[in-house]
Amino acid sequence: MMSLQSLKPRFLAIVTFILFSSFNALGDTPITSIKFWNLSKNKLVVKTGKKERKTKLTKKMIHLILDENQAVFDKIALVNALGWEPESELRNSATFLKAINNQFFAELKQKYTRADEIERKFYTEDRQVYEAASTKDKFELFSLLRAEKRDDLNTQDEFYLLYLYLLAMDNYNDVTFVENELVHAEFEDQNFETDENYTFVKTLISTQHLFHTNQLCEVGQVFERAFEVWKHDCMIKSAEIKNAVAAAQDYLHLFLTNCDRILYSVGNDCSSKKLVVKKNQLLWIVHYKTFIYGNLVVYDSANNKMEEHKIDGDDYVELNLSDYPAGSYKLKMKDIDDNSFVIDLKII
């Protein structure tokens, strides 16, 4: 963490240590703090989330996850709603894996009884591979949750994504295996790579990994980068995912105080509508392509104009906050067509 000019580095180092230790001790980490289950309209998801404790995965919940007619967002929201507890021995990922295992063997048995001699050979091989994979301590990528099935159900990737998210919630202090698996899934399956539900979960897991490896500046930027299509743009088609990203950014924007320079993208769906910055940080308000011609005005909490910048085709406005008193401010932007944008700014 960079030291403030008004405080001694030794004092700030102690404060940083205490804050970081408190996050870990209380479970205040990205994956445990970011809540988006309340964005779902599914009654079971909402009922589960309201319990505010780690909840056991039930048969009714498993039925929802396995139902192809249920939206994928509702399924990942259910995992989020299941919650967490420190030192919990409840392993929802193992419960889900057992349910998948039972379903697979039930389907396999049914197919086997109807198959001819040649087809039975393939189903026997499927069972042997599946048994070998599912008995390992870490569920391997080559399992039949990731392999192509004889009759393509298009659900194996979805199941695997949900399993990995459950696994991360079961062991939120170490998500290395889960993150590696999601990276492999991205390379193996192009549909996975472009699916916004997958990108959201993968990015959420990435914030957890970055947090535990003390890459705190990156934690605050990872969502914006993950959904970046054009430079400084965040293109999200799903309304649910867009709102989930906004919910995540309400928590993650606090980590930007660990950066030397903050790049805030105006009009980017992945940018928080509020900023907390330090006096020694540089703040770049990147307004291209949302605002090309217009102005940016900084107001204090009493609505006094602090400074004004003309936007005349440049890509960004640089704000040096070193002379600003700590407090709350508003950055108000308006272009020549009277389109406006407001950012809540807090200087600490």
Asked if 282 contacts 318 with a C-beta cutoff of 8 angstroms, the reply is yes
Asked if 55 contacts 237 with a C-beta cutoff of 8 angstroms, the reply is no
Which of residues 213, 235, 268 is at a domain's end? 213
Q: Give yes or no: residues 64 and 173 share one domain.
A: yes
Q: Give yes or no: residues 207 and 69 share one domain.
A: yes
pLDDT of residue 270: 78
In a domain, 107, yes or no: yes
Q: Which helix (H) or strand (E) holds 62?
A: helix 59-66
CA distances (Å), 74 to each of 183, 197, 208, in order? 23, 10, 22
Q: Give yes or no: residues 193 and 72 share one domain.
A: yes
In a domain, 226, yes or no: no
Cα gap 214→308, rounded to integer Å: 36
CA distances (Å), 119 to each of 107, 122, 150, 337, in order? 14, 5, 10, 67
Cα gap 180→321, rounded to integer Å: 39
* Confidence label for 145 from pLDDT (cuts 50, 70 and 90): very low
Q: Give yes or no: residues 275 and 169 share one domain.
A: no
Identify the weakest region by mean pLDDT among 2-11, 45-54, 213-222, 252-261: 2-11
In a domain, 243, yes or no: no
Q: Give yes or no: residues 199 and 290 share one domain.
A: no
The pair of structure tokens assigned to 322 is 């070193």
pLDDT of residue 126: 62
> Residue 305 sits in a domain of what CATH number?
2.60.40.420
Cα gap 324→328, rounded to integer Å: 10
In a domain, 106, yes or no: yes
Q: Give yes or no: residues 189 and 325 share one domain.
A: no
pLDDT surpasses 80 at 185:
no
Any idea how long the chain is? 348
Q: Give yes or no: residues 190 and 315 share one domain.
A: no
The pair of structure tokens assigned to 303 is 């609505």
CA distances (Å), 234 to each of 129, 241, 296, 315, in order? 41, 12, 22, 16
Q: Give yes or no: residues 54 and 112 share one domain.
A: yes
pLDDT tens for residues 81-97?
999 888 788 899 989 88
In a domain, 237, yes or no: no
pLDDT of residue 21: 41
| Average pLDDT value for residue range 73-82 | 96
Identify the weakest region by mean pLDDT among 117-131, 243-257, 331-345: 117-131
Distance of CA 337 to the CA centre of its chain: 35
| Average pLDDT value for residue range 307-322 | 88
In a domain, 53, yes or no: yes
Amino acid identity of residue 20, one-letter, is: F
Query: According to the per-residue pLDDT averaged within each range, which of 10-24, 103-117, 127-141, 301-315 is highest?
Result: 301-315
Which of residues 213, 239, 264 is at a domain's end? 213
Query: Helix, strand, coil % (nearest 5) of the chain?
Result: 50, 15, 35
pLDDT tens for residues 267-314?
777 778 888 999 889 999 888 777 788 899 999 999 999 999 998 877
Query: Percentage of the chain surpassing pLDDT 70?
Result: 73
Range of the structural domain that residue 198 is part of: 34-213
pLDDT of residue 144: 40
pLDDT of residue 320: 87
Q: Give yes or no: residues 51 and 102 share one domain.
A: yes
**Average pLDDT, whole number, for the chain?**
79
Q: Give yes or no: residues 164 and 291 share one domain.
A: no
Helices 176-188, 156-170: crossing angle, 10 deg rounding = 160
pLDDT tens for residues 10-44?
333 333 433 444 344 345 789 999 999 999 999 99
pLDDT of residue 200: 94
Q: Give yes or no: residues 272 and 173 share one domain.
A: no
Q: Give yes or no: residues 170 and 56 share one domain.
A: yes
Quickly list DSSP for 223-288: HHHHTBSSTT-B----HHHHHHHHHHHHHHGGGGGGSSEEEEETT-TTS-SEEEE-TTSEEEEE-T
Tell me which residue of 191, 190, 193, 223 sits closest to 206, measured CA to CA: 223
pLDDT of residue 210: 94
Cα gap 284→290, rounded to integer Å: 15
pLDDT of residue 190: 59
Torsion, Cα 251 55 238 65, to 10 degrees, reads: 160
In a domain, 14, yes or no: no
| Angle (nearest 5°) at CA 248 between 319 and 311 | 25
What's the domain count of the chain?
2
pLDDT tens for residues 225-270?
887 654 456 778 889 999 999 899 989 989 999 999 988 888 777 7
In a domain, 231, yes or no: no
Asked if 309 contacts 295 with a C-beta cutoff of 8 angstroms, the reply is yes
Which of residues 163, 185, 213 is at a domain's end? 213
